[in-house]
Structure 1
């Protein structure tokens, strides 16, 4: 019986199980690309608005990062953080991590963590990196409590996330949040359709160049897109 596994952060499928059965496919987000695109957003923001972001004028991007989970899909959280920072460094921008907090993909935990970090570091924080938009929204709400990110352009700390949930899109449009990256649902639907048709014998599936597939062609990582106002 053919099986298509899907992963959206809640469950991490063992790739060895997929590889052990030639009628199994695994479709999941490309966490590496998500991190790289998030890093690219910050590179563009820094290069275009360095005078306002680099508040202490030391030519270093001081940031805090809100990570997903320690046990639940920790690899996805690690990849998003790792490749985001790598992309910023590769662009020639110096960075300094002030703090990293595991917030388990939760708005409430992210809000509380950001609140505490603002009390601790104050205006030393120049950028907030969140592994998903739910945590990014929590960070924005904490920043607003401290007088930041009201959308009036006076006191602002760029916040970036991943997923493009409705509340984060609203925050971006209002100027509360800098940007996000997201997985196009049409791309995901097409991938599931094509693999299902292949497994039913109706078409031959070959990994498109915009996807990232392993050597078997059955573990398929789908691309992300950027979103800014």
Structure 2
């Protein structure tokens, strides 16, 4: 009888210990920047996901303010606080080596979210949760190319050049263009993900007298800026086709109104849920995939109402 009681007590203590571990779980999150529109939705969705756990999971958010050194310092601070896991949205996808090494050395699980590091050979204990940016560029350009009848001139609004999201989305666009030799790139320049910068660039090109039939933007914010510049210049809506990426609420509204012809939905909630779920599982020593891919989806006037 005493043995049975002892086993029962052990089982209960393990159960309570497990529950306490989850209730006390703390995850440090370093975001590349707080004032990016899409990343705000990602951050808010991560917070909602953390609060959805029965006992709650505490997130400590830090803003790297687009500073690589600041982000590394934030990760080192998380390590000194002995957090259970770390989630990083990298400032520069080519500068993640020190972050990876620090987390691995400390034995703390690390999840890169939204932006996959350039180093594809990540060690054990490091996972990425993202969407395949190459597909986003391919999807938007394929749709545009068909609407353009396979001919015309385009301009490309690039995101932040420090991010491989910019590189891969643009690479996807150019891969599609190899099938359409009569579509030419008239200009390409970085608008660093910004609506104001996208607007300024397109306004400058119009002032210079440049002619183009479509604007291919690495995100919705720059695409909306392009639409605003064209409207201010008196260009008839729809005469220059505009494509974005992200499917933000403003982007969806722009597709509805016809300011954008097309966008590609990047699932902020899917990436947020995936990153927090993965971090929690790793902290509990549960098995996870080395890379979690959240699919992109095309947004057009015909299906825009199905997105939220």
TM range (shorter): 0.7 to 0.9
Aligned residues: 198
| Residue of structure 2 in register with 1:41 after alignment | 143
On the 8 A contact 1:172/1:179 being kept in 2, the answer is yes
- Residue deviations 1:123-159 (CA, integer Å, cap 9, x gap): x310101111110011000000122243xx6xx1000
Deviation at 1:99, TM superposition (A): 0.9
RMSD: 2.6
For 2:234, the equivalent position in structure 1 comes to 147
Cα distance in 2 between the residues matched to 1:224 and 1:2: 30
Q: 1:182 to 1:22 in 2, by over 3 A?
A: same
Residue 29 of structure 1 is matched in structure 2 by: 131
Structure 1 residue 190: deviation in Å? Answer: 4.2
TM alignment of 1:92-103, pairs within 5 A: 92=180, 94-103=182-191
Superposition pairs of residues 173-188 of structure 1, within 5 angstroms: 173-188=256-271
CA contact (8 A) 1:7 1:27 kept: no
1:167-178 equivalences in 2 (<5 Å): 167-178=250-261
Cα displacement (A) at 1:119: 2.3
What is the 5 A alignment of 1:153-168?
A: 156-168=239-251
Choose which of 78, 84, 101 in structure 1 pairs with 2:173. 84
Cα distance, 1:26 vs. partner? Answer: 2.3
Contact 1:62 1:126 in 2 (8 A): yes
Q: Do residues 134 (structure 1) and 134 (structure 2) align?
A: no
1:64 is aligned to: 155
Cα distance in structure 2, aligned partners of 1:66 and 1:144: 17
SS at match of 2:216: strand
* 1:164 CA drift (Å): 1.3
Superposition deviation, residue 15 in structure 1: 5.8
Contact 1:161/1:179 (8 A) holds in 2? yes
Q: TM-score, normalised by structure 1?
A: 0.74
Question: 2-side partners of 1:178 and 1:149: how far apart?
Answer: 13
Contact 1:5 1:27 in 2 (8 A): no
CA distance in 1, matches of 2:92, 2:244: 20
Larger Rg computed on CA atoms: 2
> Normalization by structure 2: what TM-score?
0.57
Instruction: Measure, in 2, the Cα distance between the counterparts of 1:68 and 1:159.
Output: 15
| 1:118–1:125 contact (8 Å) kept in structure 2 | no
The CA distance in 1 between the partners of 2:123 and 2:174, in whole Å, is 36
Name the CA shift for 1:113/1:23 in 2 (closer, same or farther; >3 Å): same
Residue 296 of structure 2 is aligned to residue 224 of structure 1 = yes
Whether the 8 Å contact between 2:87 and 2:279 is mirrored in structure 1 is no
Q: Distance in 1 between matches of 2:191 and 2:272?
A: 29
Q: Does 1:117 align with 2:205?
A: yes
Tell me how far 1:163 sits from its aligned partner.
1.0
> What is the CA-CA distance between 1:82 and the residue it aligns to?
1.6
